[in-house]
Amino acid sequence: MANPVVAIVGRPNVGKSTLFNRIVGERISIVEDVPGVTRDRIYSKAEWLDRHFHLIDTGGIAFDDHDILLEHIRHQAELAIDEADVIIFVVDTTTGITSTDEEVAKMLFRSKKPIVLGVNKADNPERLNQMYEFYSLGFGEPIGISSVHGLGIGDLLDEVIKHFPEDTEEEYDEDTIRISLIGRPNVGKSSLVNALLGEERVIVSDIAGTTRDAIDTLLTREGQDFVLIDTAGMRKKGKVYEATEKYSVLRALRAIERSDVCIIVINAEEGIIEQDKKIAGYAHEAGRAVIIVVNKWDAIEKDDKTLHQFERTVREHFLFMDYAPILFVSAKTKQRIHQILPKAKDVADQHAMRIPTNVLNDLIHEATTVTPPPSDKGRRLKINYVTQVSVKPPTFVLFVNDVELLHFSYQRFLENRIREAFPFEGTPIRLIARNKATE
C-alpha cells in the first residue's frame, strides 16, 4: 500500500519547517525567521512507531490577494492539504490565536481531513497554560510542542498515526504485474495508458486505487494480467494539479510504492531535464523494475542516426540506471506501443528471478580468480560465500573476511559479472557485504 501523507500547515513564522526537520531527523527545510522562506512544498519520508509516511512542509499561508508570492504559497499549501491524509495545523502559543489562524482553520474545515492541532513554542509551564485558548479553533485538544527542543513531538505523532487510513488496497493475484507510469506532467502518461487500452484490450474491471483520483485498470494480454496505475490526469473539478511541476513528485512516489514495474515516460520533444532524473531516481532507490519510454517520437525529425543519438543521450543522463531498456514510442500514432506490455512482463520476470546458490558461488569464485580484488595495506578481500536472500529487487549477500575491504569499484565489477551471466534486464540488483562471523 502507498504510504500515508501528512501535511504541515499554518500561517507564516509559527515553526512549521523546524517541526518538519525535527520529525524527519534532518535539516532539509530552510529555517529562517522570515515569513515566506519556504515557498514550495518539500517532501520527505518519515517514520513513527514503525508506521512509514510522507511528510510535506508547506509555506506559510497568508491571505493577501495583492501579493503574487503569497498567493502562490497559499496555492501550494492548498495542493498539499488536498493530497494529505492527515494535516498538522501549527499555531504559536507566544502570539495566541490570530485572524490568519482563524482563516486557515476555515480552510482546513472545508478540507474535511483529520486535523491534529500542534501548539508550538510551548516550552515552559506558563506557555503550556496559555495554549488552551486554542480549543476555540474547533479541532479538539491542542497538543503543546516545542519544535526547537523536541518537546511533545511524540504525543503529536501518536495522534497523527491514529488517523492513518486502513490498508484498503485492492488485493490482486500474485501473478498480476502492477505497472505505474511516472514522469513529469504533460509527457503523455495518460495518452500512453489510453493507447495501451486500445481496441484489442480485454478490460476486466476499473478499480478505484488507494491513491485518491487514481484509477487502477486491470487488463489481460496473452494470458497475463496487468494493472496500470496512471499517475497523470489526477485532477479535481475546477483544479488542474499537474500545472504544478512539483506536484508530480509525490504522485510518483505513491505510485512507485504500489508497483512492480515503473515506466518512466520522457517527452521526446522536450528532451531530458533534471525532474526526469529525479523521478527515475525514486524508482531506482525503491528497487523497482523499470522501463524508460520515450514518448512523442513521431514528432521528432529524424534520420538514420537520430534514434541512436537520443539513446546515447538517455544513457548519459541515466548512468545510475544503465540496466533499463529504452523504448521509443508514440501514443498518438501507436508506434511501438505493442512492445510495452511484453517488455514489462520480461523485466518483471527478471525482477523476481532467483539464482541457485551453487551457480552463484561458482560464478563469483571464477570472477575473483580471474580478477582478484586489490589488496589494501597488505590485506586482500576474500569472499567466502554468496547467497541470494530476496527478490524484487534481486539481493545478494557476500560473506567476506572484512567488509571494509570491499571497495565500491570491485563491488561494481562483481555486479557486472552477475549481469553478464544472467539477464536482470530492467531491474536493479543489490549486493550487501557481511563479515563471515555474522553469518
Q: What is the pLDDT of residue 206?
A: 43
> How far lies 162's CA from each of 2, 155, 254, in Å?
17, 11, 20
Domains and CATH numbers, the chain: 5-162 (3.40.50.300), 177-350 (3.40.50.300), 357-438 (3.30.300.20)
Other CB atoms within 10 A of residue 64 CB: 11
**H-helix segments, 148-214:** 153-162, 189-196
CB 360 within 8 A of CB 192: no
Q: What is the pLDDT of residue 238?
A: 38
Q: What is the pLDDT of residue 105?
A: 92
| Of residues 8, 28, 85, 90, the one with CA closest to residue 52 | 85
CA dist 191 and 333 (Å) reads 11
Q: What is the pLDDT of residue 202?
A: 38
Bridge partner residues of 430 (DSSP): 395
Measured at the alpha carbon of residue 42, what is the angle toward residues 37 and 46, in degrees to the nearest 5?
A: 130
Does the pTM of the predicted model rise above 0.85?
no
Q: What is the pLDDT of residue 170?
A: 59
Kindly state the cell numbers that stand for 106.
476555515
**Using one digit for the tens of pLDDT, what is the confidence trace for 383-433?**
999 999 999 999 999 999 999 999 999 999 999 999 999 989 999 999 999
Tell me the DSSP string of 167-178. Answer: --PPP--TTPEE
pLDDT along the chain (439 residues), means of 10: 85 90 66 41 79 84 66 71 89 91 90 94 80 90 92 94 77 87 83 77 39 65 88 41 51 82 93 87 92 94 90 93 95 93 96 96 95 87 94 96 91 94 94 77
Bridge partner residues of 248 (DSSP): none
DSSP 410: H
Q: What is the pLDDT of residue 61?
A: 77
